[in-house]
Amino acid sequence: MKVSIIVAMTADGYIGRTSDHLATTWTNEEDKYLFTHYVKEAGNMVMGLNTFKTTARKFPGVFNKSMPGRRLLVYTPDPEEVAPYANVEAVSEPPEALVARLEKEGVKHLAICGGTTIYTIFLQAGLVQDIYVDMQATLFGAGMPFLNQAIEAEIELKEIKRLGDNNVLLHYKVQHKQTEHGR
């Protein structure tokens, strides 16, 4: 299964000023189109509870109306938090177990859509093949970083694409090192 990270980021490496600062409030229109395109292509996406709740609070009804044919998996210790939403499934298993389960279900592509902790645990698990960074011509100076723990991974730049006047899409392939377990 293909596992991709999709992230909008400032030029100084932040995904938001605070944990409830949505990218839709500071990114350009090309980012919104790009995000929608990649999520539709994957058909399945994962996000953390905070990202989910922030999005649901700022865009009431978005998860019930705009997701036909798509599946959203939300990491949460409390499944009741997402129970009212159609096409939303609470998950709590480790990333490796989730990906294995989804592969058995026939899922071909999974988009990792934030936030910081979710990006980190999937990269730490060695499951991510592609990272799509929408680098916005914005500086915060402080805020929520892309990752919240040390990660050691080599990435290879596959494509640079201009988005609007000042932004770029960076597509990286993650180079996984072989270990004694074959991963």
- CATH code of the domain covering residue 25: 3.40.430.10
Q: Is the residue at 117 inside a domain? A: yes
Residue 28, in any domain of the structure:
yes
Residue 174 is assigned to a structural domain of this protein: no
Q: How confident is the model at residue 24, as a pLDDT?
A: 79
Q: Please give the pLDDT value at position 20.
A: 84
Q: What is the pLDDT of residue 147?
A: 96
- Please provide the DSSP assignment of 112-163 as one string: E---HHHHHHHHHTT---EEEEEEES---SSSEES-SS----EEEEEEEEEE
Buried b (16+ CB within 10 A) or exposed e, 148-179: eeeeeeebeeeeeeebeeebbbbbbebeeeee
Does residue 29 lie in a domain region?
A: yes
**131 located within any domain:** yes
Domain, as residue range, for 146: 2-161
* Confidence (pLDDT) at 26: 81
Total of domains in the chain? 1
pTM score > 0.75 for this model? yes
In a domain, 49, yes or no: yes
> What integer pLDDT is reported at residue 183 of this predicted model?
44
What pLDDT is recorded for position 180?
Answer: 43
Residue 81, Cα to own-chain centre: how many angstroms?
A: 20
Angle at alpha carbon of residue 169, lines to 146 and 129, rounded to 5°: 65
Low-confidence ranges of the chain (pLDDT < 70): 59-69, 177-183
Residue 169 located in a structural domain: no
